[in-house]
């Protein structure tokens, strides 16, 4: 018996395109492509399941979101909070999240199946990377989606992101106000998109203040506690006159590693060395000392993404496709004037 896959092959289009035609989603395909698919259906003798077709003729009110599995030495409290506020915003708008998983490094078959089966109206992506294959796939399929995070700057797709550049710039400026001039940064690897933007904010603030940045002040590492140990050791191994008196950590987890290493060396964070993290991970305010950090506007981000996806599903043309939301600097006991 012919299948939808046979129709797609005969028509020379994707399976998702055939699905759009069968489910009367004409806004996703041109009139010419629709006619091409209908002719292919006749040629191969495909008979659609009318019950399933009727069920899928209207919106499912479901939004797909993939759970993200972190390596054992990493945690991502931001995405854990994000999914709660995303679900809350979706439910307020009359939608529900359909969460799913996929094999590590093989997301596309699951996305493709969800599209072909008509189980979701659109997707929300998170944890994006440069040249993200999910974004490339969904753009090619012309399937509705929005993204928490940016990717290839040459791709035009709807996204909401934290303005890491503005946030880090604000943090560096606050350290300068306290009297610090030798300020370092524990950064992410060069391929990280959000890490790149945050580092741009660091350089911009240092340049505006006319302060030099030694190459040794930028120490790159993964999103791990051990990366903080490595960064702090690298800074303290510099000649005393060149050692930084303060630092920005790319995440709170990295900042905790810096705090732990400083304590092991007999230094007190906030007095001997100032430190600002990023994310406002739960419990950071209860550390000793409490960690100053940049808090991402996660509730607002979730709401903005759902509003954007609603506009796309309703075929509105007048909506913001790119939204940057600045984080908020929470100053706690981990910062103070320099001692040397």
Instruction: Give per-residue pLDDT as tens, 171-206.
Output: 999 999 999 999 999 999 999 999 999 999 999 999
What is the mean predicted confidence (pLDDT) over 68-74?
Answer: 63
What is the mean predicted confidence (pLDDT) over 209-213?
Answer: 97
pLDDT digit string, tens, across residues 301-325: 999 999 999 999 989 888 999 999 9
- Paired sense of beta strands 159-162 and 145-148, if any: parallel
- Paired sense of beta strands 274-278 and 322-325, if any: unpaired
Report the chain's C-alpha Rg in angstroms: 24
Dihedral angle over CA of 18, 22, 26, 32, nearest 10: 50
Question: Residue written as tokens 């903005």?
Answer: 304
Q: Which domains does the chain have, with CATH numbers?
A: 4-55 (1.10.260.40), 62-162+299-327 (3.40.50.2300), 164-296 (3.40.50.2300)
Residues sharing a CB contact under 8 Å with residue 31, sequence separation 6 or more, in sequence order: none
| Per-residue pLDDT band at 25 (split at 50, 70, 90) | low
Least confident span in 20-34, 79-93, 142-156, 300-314: 20-34
Question: Residue written as tokens 């964070």?
Answer: 269
State whether residue 150 is helix, strand or coil: coil
Residues sharing a CB contact under 8 Å with residue 194, sequence separation 6 or more, in sequence order: 149, 150, 161, 162, 164, 188
- pTM beyond 0.85: the answer is no
pLDDT value at residue 264: 97
| Residue 95 scores a pLDDT above 70 | yes
């Amino acid at each position: 018996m012919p299948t939808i896959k046979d129709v797609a092959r005969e028509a020379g289009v994707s399976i998702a395109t055939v699905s759009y035609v069968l489910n009367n989603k004409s806004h996703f395909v041109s009139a010419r492509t629709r006619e091409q698919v209908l002719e292919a259906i006749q040629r191969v003798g495909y008979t659609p399941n009318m019950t399933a077709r009727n069920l899928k003729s209207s919106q499912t009110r479901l939004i797909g979101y993939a759970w993200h599995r972190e390596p054992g030495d990493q945690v991502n409290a931001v995405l854990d909070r994000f999914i709660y506020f995303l679900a809350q915003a979706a439910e307020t708008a009359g939608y529900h999240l359909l969460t799913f998983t996929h094999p590590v490094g093989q997301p596309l078959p699951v996305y493709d199946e969800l599209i072909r089966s008509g189980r979701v109206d659109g997707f929300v992506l998170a944890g994006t990377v440069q040249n993200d294959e999910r974004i490339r796939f969904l753009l090619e399929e012309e399937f509705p989606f929005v993204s928490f995070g940016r990717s290839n700057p040459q791709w035009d797709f709807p996204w909401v992101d934290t303005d890491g550049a503005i946030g880090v710039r604000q943090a560096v400026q606050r350290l300068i106000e306290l009297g610090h001039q030798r300020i370092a940064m524990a950064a992410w690897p060069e391929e990280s998109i959000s890490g790149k933007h945050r580092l741009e904010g660091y350089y911009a603030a240092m340049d505006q203040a006319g302060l030099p940045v030694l190459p040794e002040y930028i120490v790159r590492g993964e999103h791990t506690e051990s990366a903080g140990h490595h960064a702090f050791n690298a800074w303290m191994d510099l000649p005393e006159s060149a050692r930084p008196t303060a630092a920005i950590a790319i995440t709170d987890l990295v900042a905790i590693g810096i705090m732990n290493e400083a304590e092991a060396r007999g230094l007190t964070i906030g007095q001997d060395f100032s430190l600002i993290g990023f994310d406002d991970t739960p419990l950071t305010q209860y550390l000793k000392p409490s960690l100053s950090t940049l808090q991402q506007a996660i509730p607002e981000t979730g709401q903005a993404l759902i509003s954007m996806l609603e506009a796309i599903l309703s075929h509105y043309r007048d909506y913001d496709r790119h939204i940057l939301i600045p984080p908020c600097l929470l100053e706690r006991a981990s910062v103070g004037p320099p001692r040397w």
